[in-house]
Amino acid sequence: MLERAHRRCPTVAAGGRLYQMDVTDLKFPTGSFDAAVATFLFCVLPNDLQVQALRELGRVVKAGGLIRLLEYVRPRGRIRRIMSTIWQPWIMWAYGASFDRHTEKHVPEAGLELVESRYVVDDLVKMITARA
């Protein structure tokens, strides 16, 4: 993916601003960023790493900074819930993702403040906003 990003974003790549890291052990100093964004990361991150990863994002964001997460969740509607249950084995095999991560419940445990949690695509994708 980094090679692909270098080709697609040569200006960013030339500035040396593309990194490969473990979200549970980011190699940035504390308070390095005003905010952080993670898209569809926590739905592939195992449950036992959720709190650790949220804490690490909180560490690298300045105090009071926002962390925004876009995540797949288990739908509430009956038909979508049934469909997501049917799709779950394939989704897990293909992407390592789960609809049942419950990331927003880990936010307070990670020492972050849950600011907002709202659906942005029907009842399948949520935007979770936390404050460091």
The pLDDT tens digits of the residues spanning 57-69 come to: 999 999 999 999 9
How far, in whole angstroms, is CA 58 from its chain's centroid? 12
In the block, tokens 């307070």 appear at 108
Neighbours of 61 (CB within 10 A): 23
Q: Could you tell me if residue 40 is left (phi over 0), alpha (psi between -120 and 50 degrees) or otherwise beta?
A: left
The pLDDT tens digits of the residues spanning 70-84 come to: 998 988 888 888 988
The pTM for the full model equals: 0.86
The pLDDT tens digits of the residues spanning 92-121 come to: 898 888 888 889 999 999 999 999 999 998
Dihedral, 52, 116, 101, 112 alpha carbons, nearest 10: 10
Structural contact between residues 98 and 92, judged by C-beta atoms closer than 8 angstroms: yes
Binned at pLDDT 50, 70 and 90, residue 2 comes out as confident
Domains of the chain (ranges, CATH numbers): 21-131 (3.40.50.150)
The overall average pLDDT reported for the chain is 91
Task: Determine what percent of the chain is predicted with pLDDT higher than 90.
Answer: 59
Q: What is the mean pLDDT of residues 41-50?
A: 94
Buried b (16+ CB within 10 A) or exposed e, 113-127: eeeebeeeeeebbbe
Q: pLDDT at position 4, please? A: 85
